[in-house]
Structure 1
Amino acid sequence: MRRFVSLFVLCLLCASPVYAAISKAPPVPPAPSAAQGASVPILLYHRLGPVVADGMTIATPTFESQLRYLRDNGYQVIPLRRLVDWYLGTAPAPPAKAVVIVADDGHKSIYTDMLPLVRKYRVPVTLFIYPSAISNAKYAMTWDQLRELKKTGLFDFQSHTYWHPNFKKERKRLKPAEFDRFTAMQLQKSKEKIERELGGRVEMLAWPFGIYDDDLIRRAAAAGYRATFTIERHHATAADKVMKLPRYLLVAADQGKAFAQLLAGHGPQRHVVY
């Protein structure tokens, strides 16, 4: 008798409109799990040039050799947003040999040196810029140049705060209420300025100098950022949190065999003075 009642209730449930709506709803992509085994290097550049003038510069021929290596060895450069969407459970896992390319600051060499190679190899790049420098600092691009980059369809523009502060120093220097206002300005004004000048959604943040803590992450989330990025030399995997995603800061020594080892997850740890 109990079994008959259970079957009767189940039949009524299956016939209900609510059940029909649920059964027809599209499946929700599962959140990343360690079992999925995704492992994606996020390659961070700052500036290119004919010679290595400082620790943040990669020789332009070296950058091209890296792009050529990726192409010739079966790597697929995917947009950073695609990787973030996987972490957020709205996109499938990235390909087995996925790589992401990003650049911080908005240096003019992104326009003069990187843009021609990005066009040549057709790879997507995410630029994290701090708007105070754009069209103001001699070393930086202009808004018009950034608009040219946007027209290629290969560049996405995200936040690097408004003027690239050292939050650790500012927290010590400012009173708590002042630090609250300062941080809110850095996070919100950057977002608003980039969206106003270039359009699109600014919802990703690269921490200046790689400095962050749980309090700053909380503030970034409250300001509307869905992902934030550090500077740590290891692949982004399912074990990482979307608000603490690691990036390899590329230096001149990361070429040839060292670059191949980095992509394989066996690159040397380096201490870089930012």
Structure 2
Amino acid sequence: MLENKLAPAPDRLRRALVCSLACGPALGRGEPPLQRPRVPILAFHRFASAVQDSMTVRIAHFEAQLGLLQSLSCQVIPLSTWVAWRLAKAKGEDLPLPPRAVVLTADDGHRSQFEVMAPRLRERGWPVTLFIYPSAISNAAYAMTWAQLRELAADTRVSVQSHTYWHPDLLRERERMTPAAFQRFAGDQLTRSRDTLEQQLGRPVTLLAWPFGQSDDALARQAAEAGYLAAFSLGNRSATAADPPFTVPRHLVVDSVNLRQLAARLEAAFGDKAAP
């Protein structure tokens, strides 16, 4: 029963994929100051030798994507560094970011993040943030175990953050509940995830990725009230100081994103050329 509840829902994944792949208009060099710098935050999910679903990236393709980041002289920074920069901007302060900065994230806690992604990032010394929904860990067949997640979290370059407790479609759940019931439900998803991760890993959890990249203003307020500093969605735009801190966009990276497309998105963020 729990396995069925946790398994990815194909219709919702396809809907989220279509939504996230809709690129906004490219920004030019004559942008307002808050639009610079633009930092691509890349969102991965799972890896395999062959494509198994819409969120899988083939291992060979993933290695080529990492090689592309190196060839473009990208500087991979922790997500926490970007958040600190964004919060400083909100206070009128200015923390420097390295040129051609890129952030790597991965959602859901799939075991291939432990088996495939982590070793390849470790050998490059690159940080990554894992957005985890704890109900799957040591429970769902496709997910990491707590022992594996603890092993990753022991590396200071790996940050483990919240993806709610069991990855519900919050906007759909809102439609099915009374306002009071939904507020309780959403609050439980936000706080139970954070509290479980902190208890299991012994590290603070202050960031959130919205399931399916979907949220609204009321959920953003509730996440802030729950103590989160920022929350991340999808949308295939690079993040800027102008983005609301609780709907920060990320680029969804799936196998159908070829190297030319990924390079164009990165180069557009760095001001080299327009996005496709």
Q: Same fold (TM over 0.5)?
A: yes
- 1:247 aligned onto 2:250: yes
What do the CA deviations read for 1:138-176 (whole angstroms, capped 9, x no partner)? 010011001111223221000000000111111111112
Q: AA paired with 1:120?
A: E
Structure-2 change in CA distance of 1:73 and 1:252 (3 Å): same
2:132 and 2:94 map into 1 onto residues whose CA distance is 26
1:185 offset after TM fit, Å? 0.4
Secondary structure of 1:40 counterpart: coil
What is the aligned-residue RMSD (CA, Å)?
Answer: 1.5
Tell me which of 87, 98, 101 is aligned to 2:101.
98
Residue 163 (structure 2) aligns with: 160
1:229 offset after TM fit, Å? 0.5
Residue 72 (structure 2) aligns with: 73
Q: AA paired with 1:75?
A: C
Secondary structure of 2:159 counterpart: strand
Tell me which of 94, 114, 118 is aligned to 2:117.
114
Relative to the length of structure 2, the TM-score reads 0.82
Q: For 1:1-274, list aligned pairs within 5 A.
A: 34=33, 37-89=36-88, 92-265=95-268, 266-268=274-276
Secondary structure of 1:43 counterpart: strand
2:137 and 2:189 map into 1 onto residues whose CA distance is 15
2:214 and 2:70 map into 1 onto residues whose CA distance is 33
Give yes or no for contact 1:203–1:224 (8 Å, CA) kept in 2. Answer: yes
Give yes or no for contact 1:128–1:205 (8 Å, CA) kept in 2. Answer: yes
- For structure 1, which segment, 241-250 or 124-133, has the greater mean C-alpha deviation from structure 2 after superposition? 241-250
Q: AA paired with 1:54?
A: D
Give yes or no for contact 1:42–1:235 (8 Å, CA) kept in 2. Answer: yes
1:164 and 1:91 map into 2 onto residues whose CA distance is 35
Give yes or no for contact 1:229–1:245 (8 Å, CA) kept in 2. Answer: yes
Structure-2 change in CA distance of 1:134 and 1:91 (3 Å): farther
Q: How many positions carry a matched residue from both structures? A: 236
1:130 and 1:222 map into 2 onto residues whose CA distance is 20
Secondary structure of 1:237 counterpart: coil
1:72 offset after TM fit, Å? 2.5
Structure 1's consecutive aligned runs of 4 or more residues displaced over 6 angstroms after TM superposition are none
Residue 4 (structure 1) aligns with: none
Larger radius of gyration: 1
Residue 20 (structure 2) aligns with: none
Q: AA paired with 2:211?
A: P
Relative to the length of structure 1, the TM-score reads 0.83
Q: Percent identity?
A: 48
Q: Unpaired segments of 5 or more residues in structure 1?
A: 1-32, 269-274
What do the CA deviations read for 1:107-139 (whole angstroms, capped 9, x no partner)? 010011111101121110000000000010001
1:168 and 1:244 map into 2 onto residues whose CA distance is 14
- For structure 1, which segment, 251-260 or 46-55, has the greater mean C-alpha deviation from structure 2 after superposition? 251-260
Give yes or no for contact 1:38–1:93 (8 Å, CA) kept in 2. Answer: no
Q: AA paired with 1:81?
A: S
2:34 and 2:220 map into 1 onto residues whose CA distance is 26
What do the CA deviations read for 1:217-263 (whole angstroms, capped 9, x no partner)? 00000000010011111110122122221001112122321111121
